[in-house]
Every structure is written in C-alpha cells, then in structure tokens.
Amino acid sequence: MSDGELGYERAKIAGMYERLDREREEVEGGLAAVLRDAVGERWPREVAVRELTARRDRLKAADHGLCFGRIDHLDGGRTYIGRVGLFDERYEPLLVDWRAPVARPFYTATGVRREGISRRRHFRTRGRVVEGFHDDELAGDDTALLSALAAPRSATMRDIVATIRAEQDEVIRLDHRGVLVVEGGPGTGKTAVALHRVAYLLYTRRERLSRHGVLVVGPNVRFLRHIGDVLPSLGETDVVFATPGELFPGVRTTLEDVPEVRGLKGGLAAVDVISEAIRDRRELPDEPIPIPLSDVVVELSADLVEVAWARVGEVEHNAGRELFHAGLVDVLVPLAVAAIGEDWPELADDVRRELRGSVELGAAVDALWPLLTPQELLADLYEGRCVALGYPELYRADGWAWTVSDVPLLDEAAEQLGDDGSAGRAAARERARRVEYARGVLEVLDTDPALRRDTLRAVDLVDAEWLADRHEAPDHRVLAERAAADREWTYGHVVVDEAQELSEMDWRVLMRRCPNRSMTVVGDLHQREAEAGARDWGARFAPYVDDRWVHRTLTVNYRSTAEVMERAGAALAEIDPLAVPPRSVRHGAVPWEVTTADPDAVIAAARPDSGTFAVISVDGPLTPRAAKGLEFDTVVVVDPGRMTAVERYVALTRATRQLGIVHTAPALA
C-alpha cells in the first residue's frame, strides 16, 4: 500500500462524502417542501413523505463506512462498493450499492472463479477517513497459495478468498437449501470454508438472511475470537457468534459438568427428565384448603384438585395454570351453592364471579401449580428433587451454577413450560394505550379553530396507529444484538463448527433456532471427544431431515506440513485404523522429541523469537480440548502419553511450522 495510492483513495472517498452531503441536503429540502405543500392531494403527499424520509434515513446510516470496497475488472475498469449508490453530476456511478448485481464479485469471486475481476480491495476507515486498505490478488495459481501458507499466522484467522481451492470452492457455493455436512481432517479448511460460505449466502440469499441473520456456533470463546475477523473483512455484520454455552439468553457459561453428567444431560432421555420435573411441581394439598366466600367457606380437597388437573389436558405448564384455575372454579361452584343451601337464579353466577376473584383461590393455584421459569425449574431439580425422581447424579449444591450442558435443558424447559400469556397481553395493552393517546392528539389538532378547513391538517397526513408506532422508541440494536437476546429468534442459516462435539440435546436447540434447516455443519468424527457427541451424521440428522442432507469431504491439509502429519498418524490409526489422513501440501521441519526431567527449560528454549506459540498439555496452559480448531506457528506438546488418542491427535495437528514433543522423565532422586 503506497502513500500515493492511499492518498488517491482518500481523495476519491472524500469526493463521495461531498456527494452524500449534497444529496442529503436535497432530500431534506424536498421533504420540507412536501410538508409545506398545502394544496396537493393527501395520498401522494403521504407517499412522498414516507419515501423521502426513508431515503434520508438511508443516507444518514451510510455515513458510517460509506465505501468499504473496490473491485478491479479484468478489462481495466474499477467499481467502488458501499452502503448506498451515488452518481456524479454526469450521472456516472461514483459508488455502487453493495446489493447491485455489478457488486457481486466483491462477495463471490475466488481464485478459482474470478468472475471477471483481478483484485478485490477492502478499505479500513475510521469515521470519514480511510486509514488503509488491503488487497486480495485473485491470481488463482499455486504460488499465491504456497506463499500464503508459508506466512506466519497471527492470533486471528485471515480470510482465504484469494487462494481458495476447487474442492473448497464447490462447498462454498453448493446450492443446497438443507443441512450440508462438511467433513475433513485437521487443517483442511473446514472453518475457513464454512465462513466463506456464510459470506456467499449472505450475498446470494440476502433477502432472507438480512432479515433473519446467521448464527455461527463454535466450541469456545477463544476459537470465536480466532475466526471473528474473517466475516467482517468480507463485509458482513448480520452474524451472531456463540458458543454452545451462550445459546440461552440470560445465561453465559463456560463451566463443564463431569463427563458422566454431561452424557446424561446430552442424551434425549433428558427430555423426559424435564417433563417429569415439571409434573412433579404440580402438588396435591396435604390438608383441604379453606376458600372463604361471603356466605360460606368451601374446602379445596386433593380429590377436587385431581378433577381440575384432569380437565387441563395436554398444554404447556405455564399456559395450563389459567385452565387449572378455571377448572377449580368449576368444581367449587356446585359445592358452594349446595353449602349455601338456597337457590336463586343468579346464585351460581355470583359464586363463580367471587371464586374467580378470590385471593385465597389464587394463592392455592400458585402453590399447587406454580408459575415457573426454566431456571427455577432446573435449579430446584438439581438442588434435591432429582434424588426423589431417581436421578441422584444430577444433584449439586448450587442449582444456579449453570454448566454448558445445562443450556439445552434450559431451552427444553422453556419450550415445555411455555409462557402464561401475560407478556403478550401486556404488550397489546400498551399498544392500545399508545394508539388511544395518538388519536387524542390528532383530535386536538383537528378541532383547533385556528386551522381553517382548506389548510393541510395532521389527519390528512397520518393516522393514529402510524403516529403511535412512530413514537415508539425505535430498536437501535443491530440484528445480531436483537437475535442474540431473543430465545425465540429463528435464523436464516446456522453454521456449526466442531459439530462432532454437540449432543443430541444441543441439536434440538439448534434445530429450533433454524426451522428451515438451512445449515452448514462442519466437523471431523475422528476429533470427537465428548461422550455425547456424534458418531454418525445420519443418525444425528434423521429425526429432523430424514436422509435429505448432503455430505462433502475436504481432503487437503493446508495447516500442517507432511512431516507433522506423519507424526500425528499413529494417533489417528489408534482412533480408527482405516482412517486416511488429509494430504499436506507443504513440507517442513521434522518434529523434534525429547525426554527430560526439566520440561520447563526445554519449553523455554523452544519458544521462537517470532510467530505464534503454544504449549499443549492435559494440565494446561492450553488443554487439547481448548486447542480445538486453533493453530499456531510453533507448538510444543507435553506428555502426549497422558492424553487420550483423540486429545493426542488434536494436539499434534495444531502446528503450522514446527512441532516439538516433550516427555517428562521422573526426576532422579
């Protein structure tokens, strides 16, 4: 990036901002003129006001990162790409809206399919100033690939658009609307490919995806940080990144259960455990509960409660409370009428009304059929109820200390509990109140004698509902924030990385979040550590999509050298003697291996002056589990003999350049 070129781009983009400001002034002027216009027809005026307001808001929003990219066409032409389209005075395009067809190669061209462009330029801006840019030269040959692979890695993954290979390109563009499983050994680019597929889909299916967003699920926060830079650099922001421990709004956890409990919570039997726990919260009274009415006291016995239970039928627990309440009223009315011993026509109706409003009966409903949140249900289950229900292994002293495997159970509980409808009723009441207020405002304006009949009146331009909605505080959060905070949000596409680790219960959550089943699932069954994880993709997806899922394999390793992969081969053979390791495209240093009583000294000596470095051992600092999906230029693996075969395979396949192995010898006495 030369200074001259940067200066050129700065001037170019400053010119776009000038044009943007001018256009904004024009739109503001136009809007003011329409609002002043007292003679035009009502509807055309209203349409003009709405259109100009929308255009003004769009131009305002474009201020932030107005122009973010440029593509150079093979015929020598250039196109600048940004948030809105702008023309110069001669109607030549100055900036092209990113949604226009001509902008497509910015998102979809790769080294394999250049789509008529030779270069893609990404601008980095702060406010209105261009701070710098970087280029993807779409050379499409192996020199570019090999130099990219040989370059030292940083803490975050870069995008690989410039050097994508044919088998990867096919996956990125695959036109399959359902579940796509991408499998491949370590370093085959599964993660990189899944992220580029997101960028591609965000472009080609933008209608749907810009409304619903995309969810990317990765194994841990460090991994999400590692990959988080790839998508924004491809120009996309409607994406929520989450670990499985973050999929239930309001709960964020990285705590883990012991493997035995993880297994129990991960299997489908957990669905029944939740149902049992809910049923167990519906109580029968030990003693009859007295319900005083004005003329008599009736008693609510266990038998009567059972009759009311039976009337509720199959509904979600919280929604069932209202039916239970109504059922109790039904069974108590004849009892009360009989106890009063008189009979006049309105008596039953009076008693019914009184029972409905009875504080004592309301309290009885709360005690016998309590309103429950998912958190209350599970905490109570873990803190003791689990023992009585026959699941003592679920016991923990602090029921609220959430673990990652609790998240799908909380979600399941939320589904089975449902809501009691109060939030919806409150929202409807609030909107009705706002509309009523707006109607009042309009009436005041309309009857103002100062306004003559032939001048434009407020009611000519707006109605009460429009006015009410306009004054509702707008939700300024970007899609990703709104989606992440809403348990019932459904995404247009879901990407799952390290998918072999997810349990059956995790998949239930993800399928709920993605009812259209548009998913990119990447993983490697040979790297599965979790007991409740996947052994077979078909079995995982059959309950949701039968056999209508598609499988692709990536076979080339872009991370580790042939020498590193050869050393990792024994661990793979232990996991699966028939497995074929991915083929490396590079050669490099042979891994070193030492046995020592002083591993710290060896590790200190192995630390390179530059490049990323990690020490992987079962005791940390980086465990094999936490190292999943990550990579470093130099890796030292300590005591692989203390690891399971899968942990060893994961640990030994993290290095891009140099691998060292340290075995700790017992210190001499």
Give the x/- contact pattern for ligand ATP in 114-153, rule: CB under 6 A: -------------------------------x--xx----
Nearer to ligand ATP, 167 or 360 (CB): 167
Q: Is 187 in the site for ligand ATP (CB under 6 A)?
A: yes
Q: Which residues pair with 135 in a beta bridge?
A: 121
Q: Consult the annotation and say whether 60 binds a ligand.
A: no
Nearer to ligand ATP, 27 or 157 (CB): 157
Q: Is 274 in the site for ligand ATP (CB under 6 A)?
A: no
| Among 163, 403, 405, 500, contact with ligand ATP (rule: CB under 6 A) | 163
Residue showing tokens 């080339």:
556
Q: Which stretch binds ligand ATP (CB under 6 A): 39-47, 160-168, 316-324, 353-361?
A: 160-168
| Among 188, 500, 561, 634, contact with ligand ATP (rule: CB under 6 A) | 188
Q: Consult the annotation and say whether 533 binds a ligand.
A: no
Nearer to ligand ATP, 148 or 319 (CB): 148
Nearer to ligand ATP, 163 or 220 (CB): 163
Q: Consult the annotation and say whether 190 binds a ligand.
A: yes
CA dist., res. 56 & res. 48, Å (int): 12
Q: What are the tokens at 305?
A: 């409660």
CA dist., res. 427 & res. 431, Å (int): 6
> Would you give the DSSP letter of residue 248?
S
Q: Which stretch binds ligand ATP (CB under 6 A): 127-135, 185-193, 294-302, 431-439?
A: 185-193
* Helices H / strands E in the chain, number of each: 28, 20
Give the x/- contact pattern for ligand ATP in 550-589, rule: CB under 6 A: --------xx------------------------------
Q: Which stretch binds ligand ATP (CB under 6 A): 163-171, 214-222, 324-332, 381-389?
A: 163-171
Nearer to ligand ATP, 163 or 318 (CB): 163
Q: What are the tokens at 332?
A: 């108590």
Phi, psi for residue 133 in degrees, rounded to 5? -155, 160
Q: Which stretch binds ligand ATP (CB under 6 A): 10-18, 179-187, 334-342, 566-574?
A: 179-187
Q: Which residues contact 422 (CB under 8 A, 6 or more apart)?
A: none
Residue showing tokens 């490099």:
588
Touching ligand ATP, residues 502-541 (CB under 6 A) = 524
Chain-centroid distance of CA 583 in Å reads: 33
Task: State the minimum distance, in angstroms, from the CB of residue 576 to ligand ATP.
Answer: 15
Chain-centroid distance of CA 316 in Å reads: 26
Q: What are the tokens at 633?
A: 């230029």
Task: State the minimum distance, in angstroms, from the CB of residue 656 to ligand ATP.
Answer: 7
Q: Is 646 in the site for ligand ATP (CB under 6 A)?
A: no
Q: Is 164 in the site for ligand ATP (CB under 6 A)?
A: yes
H or E element in which residue 171 lies: helix 166-173
Q: Consult the annotation and say whether 188 binds a ligand.
A: yes
> Would you give the DSSP letter of residue 281?
T
| CA–CA distances in Å: residue 298 to residues 282, 337, 342, 359, 644 | 21, 10, 15, 14, 67
H or E element in which residue 297 lies: strand 297-300
| Among 257, 506, 631, 633, contact with ligand ATP (rule: CB under 6 A) | 631
Nearer to ligand ATP, 145 or 661 (CB): 145
CA dist., res. 226 & res. 32, Å (int): 49
Q: Is 317 in the site for ligand ATP (CB under 6 A)?
A: no
Q: Is 190 in the site for ligand ATP (CB under 6 A)?
A: yes
Q: Which residues contact 289 (CB under 8 A, 6 or more apart)?
A: 299, 300, 360, 364
Nearer to ligand ATP, 445 or 550 (CB): 550
If one counts every other C-beta atom within 10 angstroms of the C-beta of residue 185, the result is 26
State the number of binding residues for ligand ATP (CB under 6 A): 22
Q: Is 9 in the site for ligand ATP (CB under 6 A)?
A: no
Q: Which stretch binds ligand ATP (CB under 6 A): 6-14, 184-192, 368-376, 385-393?
A: 184-192
Q: Is 500 in the site for ligand ATP (CB under 6 A)?
A: no
Q: Is 168 in the site for ligand ATP (CB under 6 A)?
A: yes
Which DSSP string corresponds to 172-191?
HH---SSEEEEEE-TTSSHH
| CA–CA distances in Å: residue 288 to residues 292, 294, 328, 359, 508 | 13, 19, 13, 16, 42
| Among 186, 399, 581, 660, contact with ligand ATP (rule: CB under 6 A) | 186
| Among 165, 265, 321, 513, contact with ligand ATP (rule: CB under 6 A) | 165
Task: State the minimum distance, in angstroms, from the CB of residue 480 to ligand ATP.
Answer: 22
Nearer to ligand ATP, 111 or 327 (CB): 111
Q: Is 370 left (phi over 0), alpha (psi -120 to 50) or beta?
A: beta
Q: What are the tokens at 125?
A: 């801006």
Omega before residue 621 within 30° of 0, cis: yes
Chain-centroid distance of CA 378 in Å reads: 23
| Amino acid letter for position 588 | G
Task: State the minimum distance, in angstroms, from the CB of residue 200 to ligand ATP.
Answer: 15
CA dist., res. 657 & res. 199, Å (int): 29
Nearer to ligand ATP, 149 or 483 (CB): 149
> Would you give the DSSP letter of residue 114?
-
Q: Consult the annotation and say whether 77 binds a ligand.
A: no
553, 581 contact by CB (below 8 A): no
Task: State the minimum distance, in angstroms, from the CB of residue 107 to ligand ATP.
Answer: 17
Task: State the minimum distance, in angstroms, from the CB of residue 143 to ligand ATP.
Answer: 12
Q: Consult the annotation and say whether 634 binds a ligand.
A: no
CA dist., res. 389 & res. 472, Å (int): 48
Task: State the minimum distance, in angstroms, from the CB of residue 58 to ligand ATP.
Answer: 35
Angle between helix 347-356 and helix 317-340 axes, rounded to 10 deg: 140
Q: Is 160 in the site for ligand ATP (CB under 6 A)?
A: yes
- Residue closest to ligand ATP when measured from CB atoms: 189
Give the x/- contact pattern for ligand ATP in 17-56, rule: CB under 6 A: ----------------------------------------
Residues that bind ligand ATP (CB under 6 A): 145, 148-149, 157, 160, 163-165, 168, 184, 186-192, 524, 558-559, 629, 631
Binding residues for ATP: 184-191
